[in-house]
Amino acid sequence: MSVEDFSRDVVSFAKQPAMSGGSRLTSGKKRTVSSRRWLERQLSDPYVAEAHRRGFRSRAAFKLIEIDDRFRLLRPGGRVVDLGAAPGGWTQVAVQRTQAAKPGGGRVVAIDLLETAAIAGATVLTVDFLDEAAPALIREALRGPADVVLSDMAPQSSGHPDVDHLRIVALVEAAVEFAVEVLAPQGALVAKVWQGGTEARLLATMKKAFGSVRHAKPPSSRAESAEVYVVATGFRGMSR
């Protein structure tokens, strides 16, 4: 996909008033320049403050909230898998929107190689989703196929954009393969990619498996960040 095609394909979110607030960093002369900049950004970031106020484990929760407000993927009673879930912000949103913590509500499974603290209303699995046994474990925990697969996974930066791009494409490919194994008909996948869109080959594969494939950058995603999200809906299976 070319940059021009990608730009046309990105979903336009309605303009929202920016959150305001935050604190200034007034001390810390012994901190390194990079750590001081990170702290200043965190302290002045209204999403960080709002995440703390609302009990979310990360500001990333607002990215899923904004994506779901646009696409309406998470519904009461739905079954959701969150890949690479730690620390759990997306899982918390999924639990809220599927009402998984309430009797008769949805079911949410969070999966990560990292230990993730328990989240009320979710089943947390510390396993590799690439393991051959993972899809069966997920189906058992969900008591059926998934309606939505979420992936906010990203590789650690190597400092080399081309290398990082290949790594995140590999993660998205793995997420797509996993989604094909566990999704119910008309299910959906949300996965992080880098700006520039999804690789043409992978995009073609997704368009065969899903009725609609779009790119979106939610307002809470930092402007300087290269991240965007591919949102695939209307799962119809892979033709053999």
Distances (CA, A) of 67 to 92, 104, 153: 15, 25, 16
Is 192 among the catalytic positions? yes
**In CATH, 3-16+59-235 is 3.40.50.150:** yes
DSSP state of 13: P
Q: Domain boundaries in the chain?
A: 3-16+59-235
Q: Which of 15, 30, 63, 192 is catalytic?
A: 192
Run means of pLDDT, 10 residues per run, the chain, 240 residues: 41 48 46 55 76 94 98 98 97 98 97 95 95 93 97 82 82 95 97 78 93 96 89 87
Q: What is the DSSP string of 71-132?
A: H----TT-EEEEET-TT-HHHHHHHHHHTTTSTT--EEEEE-SS-----TTEEEE-S-TTST
pLDDT at 99: 98
pLDDT, residue 41, reads: 56
* Exposure class string for 58-93: b at 16+ Cβ within 10 A, else e: bbbbbbbbbbbebbebbeeebbbbbbbbbbbbbbbb
